[in-house]
Amino acid sequence: MEEKNFKIVISFLGKDFYGWQKQKNKETIQGCIENVCKEIFNTEFKLIGCGRTDSKVHGINYVANLKVKTRLKAENIKSALNSKLPPTIYIKEVKEVSKNFHSRFSIKRKTYRYVFTFQKSPFLTEITYYVKNNIDIERMKEAAKFFIGEHNFKAFQSSGSNVKDTVRKIYRISIKKKKFPIDEDIDLIIIDIEGSGFLYKMARNIIGTLIYAGMYKISPEDIKKFFEMQDRKLIPPPVPAKGLYFKNAKY
């Protein structure tokens, strides 16, 4: 039987998981899906994710690929997975692709989304970050301009990574305000960051810096100094993981 390669698009609520990457004695997205795959295929296989996510981070269109010898078609695999996975994980798409497709190494751009709010709500406790301070959104947008382009993001990488090449390119940062559709008294601030790749907690450190600028704790121009100094101690703390979403990947 010939091995097939399937691209899988996954959405997941991260609050009960220790991120994507499989870990011993911890519930992860990869581990959960792999366990279900073993039930379905009853054979060895390779499940490859497009990158790691932190504990409690969510996924909107997270991409993985699955290499397996099977006669099942893509639509049958999607149905089988969704029938066995917990409600916090949903397979949005399964598509057979070329054998050369690799969800991690074939990627060109990634987009992360961050959501925070100024109003408390029981509906949002696990999926957004509540900020009690007033924030100047226009000042955040001004600060965001200093991240656009190719930079050495070493200072925006949290400890715990051994990556040597810390240069990344940010293509776009958008900041917008939207009403929460369930309770329209609540405003959501939505930040999308599109980049060539992200270092460990880099997205959360960027958002934390933008929020500090919006609170007038730093000036937008300070970000230029952060890149010049490359001192991790100067960077504002990262925002909590629960407001972060892997939005999509471009290939």
Q: What average pLDDT does this structure show over 76-101?
A: 97
Q: What average pLDDT does this structure show over 29-40?
A: 95
Q: Which residues contact 28 (CB under 8 A, 6 or more apart)?
A: 17, 18, 19, 20, 21, 22
- Which segments of the chain does DSSP mark as H helices, in order? 29-41, 74-84, 137-144, 202-214, 222-229
Does residue 136 carry a catalytic annotation? no
pLDDT at 247 over 80: yes
pLDDT at 15 over 80: yes
Point out the catalytic residue in the list 16, 54, 183, 192.
54
Alpha-carbon distances of 98 from 10, 66, 144, rounded to whole Å: 19, 11, 38
User: What per-residue confidence (pLDDT) applies to 199?
Assistant: 95
In the chain, what are the domain boundaries? 3-97, 109-250
User: What per-residue confidence (pLDDT) applies to 158?
Assistant: 87
User: What per-residue confidence (pLDDT) applies to 157?
Assistant: 93
Q: What average pLDDT does this structure show over 17-34?
A: 95
Is 205:158 a contact under the CB 8 Å cutoff?
A: yes
Q: How far apart are CA 86 and CA 175, in angstroms?
A: 32
Residue 3 structure tokens: 């091995």
User: pLDDT per residue over 160-202, tens digit each?
Assistant: 778 889 999 999 999 999 999 999 999 999 999 999 999 999 9
Q: How far apart are CA 142 and CA 165, in angstroms?
A: 27
User: What per-residue confidence (pLDDT) applies to 43?
Assistant: 86
User: pLDDT per residue over 223-244, tens digit each?
Assistant: 999 999 999 999 999 999 999 9
End-to-end CA distance of the chain: 28
Among 3.40.50.740, 3.30.70.580, 3.40.50.300, 3.30.1200.10, name the CATH number for the domain at 3-97.
Answer: 3.30.70.580
Among 3.90.650.10, 3.30.470.20, 3.30.70.660, 3.40.1800.10, name the CATH number for the domain at 109-250.
Answer: 3.30.70.660
pTM of the predicted structure, to 2 decimals:
0.94
Give the single-character DSSP code of 232.
G
pLDDT at 57 over 90: yes
**To the nearest whole percent, how much of the chain has pLDDT over 90?**
93
pLDDT at 38 over 80: yes
User: What per-residue confidence (pLDDT) applies to 2?
Assistant: 85
Shared fold status for 3-97 and 109-250: yes
